[in-house]
Chain A
Amino acid sequence: MNPTATPAGQPPESFYVAHQKIYAREVQGRFARLRNLAVVALLGIYYVLPWINWGGRQAVLFDLPERKFYVFGITFWPQDFFYMAWLLIIAALSLFFVTAIAGRLWCGYACPQTVWTEAFMWMERLTEGTHSRRRKLDQAPWSTEKLLRKGAKQFLWVGFALWTGITFVGFFSPARELFGRIATFSLGPWETFWCLFYGFATYGNAGFLREQVCKYMCPYARFQSAMFDKDTLVISYDAGRGEPRGGRKRKMDHRAAGMGDCIDCNMCVQVCPTGIDIRQGLQIECIACAACIDICDSVMDRMSYDRGLIRYTSDHAMREKRPLKMLRTRTIIYGALLLVLLAGFAFSIGVRTPLRLDAIRDRNTLYRELAGGDIENAFSLKLLNLDTRSHTYVLQLDAPEGMRLEIDSSGLTLESGEVRRIPVRVLTPRDALSAAGIDITFTVRAEGSPGMEASAESRFLGPPPGR
């Protein structure tokens, strides 16, 4: 029996038909538990994180009005954009790596689209019941019960979406103060707008669009197959074992009757959130949620057949009946690259000093010859205190004997986040000059904070010696 066959007498499936709602059957099993766990953990992180404080301030806050990002103990400035770019590359490569090994694991368990859709479907089940009751409710004429059930669902959905929007803004504007402003109805216009905007997007994507986003709009769904090979774990129906499929009595010896293990109960189609039939092979719509594995395993148990008629396996493993091969050129390269990037990231965060120094030469004059026989170069130093507290700094020059540093400003105390331009002069007796250009290094140290130092290299210019 073909589940996609159109009823007799009707024209074949046409494009010009409005989207029909999928009433996916509820499913229980190993992978459903795993996904629920992922949903709870990921949503938990999302909703709880803005409320956690760290060192007297919100632990994770991307403070856009102040242009500072706080991630636990570390403060990032716009100058640290490099770290974010690096992190995005790591994220992309991780996705490639995971896809090469286990296919669309991201789609089935971690994608916000899946996670929020699960949460919305849970609320739908709570108010409208199981899939068959939902279908009946939709077909039934309007009644008090229908109104109450639909109203309750919308109430939960809209409330949850709004809360999601508020939490989202709470990552960018301190969450506790934000909530205080909401409670007193004194939210700023842009904050209000973004709460509603993100809430609306959540409602639209998770309540209304759902798997349509994966099927039509997601770029990853289209290009993920480029990371696939014949050894990638995919969810497959074991056609060799299942076919020829067909209904049968539970106790009958189906092998003797020339039948495969598939009892053609169609449960795998009913549980599929994207409405495909996995028995037709790997399809682009499959988001690898493994609902069909869970339901088929339960059917196999009931029939006292072996589990795994639908299972995670690779094309090679299935066809050639050999064990899975995780270590392959592709996965080794992705893995090694990922490791290098991660190690580099951790190292660079570890040695990062919240202090920056730039030295810019005075462009108007190369050098000046002073009356006393000294050669003078002017520099403009730019000092940035990127730490979360103020510091007093000491400036020092690393240069050949005889060269000295003169600073106009005396106290070098900078507040957190302060940027200061410091005009300095470097002088040397003409006789001490060994070449026309000498490399020099300015170093700045924070008083009382050993190891917190930054340096900037530049060049001292003078007349050629012996002239």
Chain B
Amino acid sequence: MTDPRKSGHIDEPEGTRPPVWRRSKRDLANVVWISFLTASVATMVFFAMVDPEVLSGHNTLGWHISRQTGYAFGFFGLWLLTGITSFLSVYLVRTERRARDFPAVHGQASAHAAPDDSADPDRRDP
């Protein structure tokens, strides 16, 4: 290895720190990933209690599916459900009116409210 000072400065342009993901991208990632994790756990718990073969046949649903199909449908069904929940939560939080939009209720609020809620709390000024 050469002198770290040299190799450190010469071939590394400044600003290697990657920019923060766009908010919409972060929201999408959070919705998809967190709903995936919770759906995985929910699938595990649900199918430990319920045998998909019991649900199929003429007992309850009036169709016949194999266990493997049952597991897969169960997982994606739960993922859809957790995904919708996750999406709606994020949607409601994001479309909430900000404190400064309620002058009557928060007469003083605008003074100490953040100037712009869309600012990223994780963001560090360069």
Contacts and interface: CB of A to CB of B under 8 A. Distances in A.
Interface of A: 3-7, 12-23, 64-65, 67, 78, 81, 84, 132, 135, 188, 190-191, 193-194, 212-213, 215-217, 219, 247, 263, 265-267, 269-270, 275-277, 280, 284, 295, 298-299, 302
Contacts of B72: 190, 193-194
In this complex, the interface size class of chain B, counting residues with CB under 8 Å from chain A, is 35 or more
A67 B68 contact: no
B68 A16 contact: no
A217 B29 CA distance: 6
A212 B20 CA distance: 10
Contacts of B126: 4-6, 12-13
B69 interface: yes
B19 interface: yes
B26 A216 contact: yes
A265 B71 contact: no
Contact of B17 (A23, A190, A276): A276
A375 B90 CA distance: 65
B67 interface: yes
Nearest to A268: B8
A5 B14 contact: yes
A204 B9 CA distance: 32
B12 interface: yes
Given A20-B19, A265-B5, A277-B17, 7 more contacts: A4-B15, A7-B14, A15-B123, A20-B18, A267-B4, A269-B16, A284-B122
Nearest to B12: A270
Interface of B: 1, 3-5, 8-9, 11-12, 14-23, 26, 29-30, 33-34, 37, 44-45, 47-49, 51, 66-69, 71-72, 120, 122-126
Contacts of B16: 3, 20, 22-23, 269-270, 275
A15 B69 contact: no
Contacts of A22: 16, 18
A19 B21 contact: yes
B4 to A, nearest CB: 5
A295 B120 CA distance: 31
A15 B23 contact: yes
A280 B125 CA distance: 12
A15 B30 contact: no
A390 B8 CA distance: 69
Given A13-B126, A81-B48, A190 B21 contact: no
A190 B120 CA distance: 42
B22 A15 contact: yes
Contacts of A277: 17
A206 to B, nearest CB: 14
Nearest to A276: B17
A49 B47 CA distance: 24
A64 B68 contact: yes
A280 B33 CA distance: 29
Nearest to A76: B48
A269 B37 CA distance: 32
B19 A81 contact: no
Contacts of B34: 217, 219
Nearest to A80: B48
B8 A266 contact: yes
Q: Which 4 A-B pairs have the closest CB atoms?
A: A81-B48, A265-B8, A17-B19, A217-B33
Given A13-B126, A190-B68, A217-B29, A275 B8 contact: no
Contacts of B48: 78, 81, 84
A150 to B, nearest CB: 21
22 contacts: A6-B15, A12-B125, A15-B20, A19-B19, A19-B21, A65-B66, A65-B68, A190-B68, A191-B68, A216-B30, A217-B29, A217-B30, A217-B33, A219-B34, A219-B37, A266-B8, A267-B4, A269-B16, A269-B17, A275-B16, A295-B4, A299-B4
Contacts of A193: 72
Contact of A3 (B14, B26, B30, B66): B14
Contact of B51 (A78, A265, A266, A280): A78
B51 A14 contact: no
A270 to B, nearest CB: 6
Nearest to A66: B67
